[in-house]
Amino acid sequence: MGGPGDPPEGTPEGSPGGGEDEYRSVVFDESFVRAARLQEFSAQERMADHAPAVRRRAPMRRGLSRQALVLVLLIAVAFGTAIYMGVRHPYQTPANSGPPAEPLRMTVIPLAPQGEVPGATDPEYLYAHSPAAQFRIGAEGIPLPPARRTAHFSDSQVTNALSIAKDYIVRSALYPEVLTGEQIRPVRVLLDPDQLDQFDQSFGHPAADGRHAPTGWLVRFDASQAELADRKVRVQGTLQAAETDSATLEVTADHTFVYALRAAEAGEKAGEASLFTVRRELHFRFDREDLRLRQAQLVVSYVQAGPLSCAEDSTNRLHPLLAGQTAKEGGPAGTDPYATGGATALCGSLAVGSQPKV
């Protein structure tokens, strides 16, 4: 047999240690015996002719230890995670994202009445005797049309674009807290991040430059002059979706909103209500990232509103003419035809037929 040595699995428990152990070379535990490369045949086996006294055993196959298996598993998991993060990095630019959103181009045109604004104590009476008699109430007047897939967008994507556009219209023209000027966040959260700076500048520093008028983004009245006489705003209009290119959907919205208003403070006809009409044509654009995040790019806003006085600035808030009032003399400052911005000094005349017949 081979020379003496320590058992493969260490010194047996209870056996004395140290070099002075005189029996160290002749005491073997079970693990040492199992690990021996040579094994003596039994007496019966040695009785056979020419049988050797010993036989060589195959080396013991030792499996990987538990610690080694865990280490291999951890390395495999780390390697797989590295590959996954390289393919699907959470911060990489989406492959389908389009170019940066364009700035919003807006036009707000006040419509001046040709005479005294008609009024009545009952808003329902005014609605019934106006062109808005058949209009629906609130969001019901903004129905979604049937969605039809385009060459590069599915039915569900077109429906999503129409739904986001409707949500923006409802929040920007029907939310009472937006109409009174108390809130702007319900509208802001729906915008593409590329347009937020323009939006914030419009409300921080309003300007009649075709780019930074709050009334181009949403409808809001001067709460110190007027308040809602009826929260059941009448609405009628259309939504249409079309593909502009393989990466962009465009939604066009054209709606007329009719509000019943009365004076916020006591006056000669404080108890009477009058109707105020806003026509909004909005153009939205959506890339696939906008659809995924439920946000919109508002690129065109064309607004006509009245009865208003052309002498009043409608950039920041609308100042409605109420029951019994007439338009003030004068108009906006002259328009510079050499200016490169949008037309800012526009005013129209409110047709007599658009007012209630009382």
Q: Which residues pair with 249 in a beta bridge?
A: 243, 286
pLDDT digits (tens, 9 = 90+) for 319-349: 999 999 998 875 555 445 455 554 455 788 8
* pLDDT at residue 46, rounded to an integer: 64
* pLDDT at residue 270, rounded to an integer: 58
Task: Write the CA distances from 253 to 82, 140, 291, integer angstroms.
Answer: 46, 15, 17
* pLDDT at residue 57, rounded to an integer: 61
* pLDDT at residue 186, rounded to an integer: 97
Q: How many CA atoms lie within 13 A of 106 on its CB side?
A: 27
pLDDT means per 10 residues in the chain (358 residues)?
A: 53 52 57 60 62 59 68 83 61 53 93 93 95 96 93 95 98 97 97 97 95 97 94 96 94 97 71 94 97 97 95 94 86 51 69 85
pLDDT digits (tens, 9 = 90+) for 157-206: 999 999 999 999 999 999 999 999 999 999 999 999 999 999 999 999 99
* pLDDT at residue 258, rounded to an integer: 98
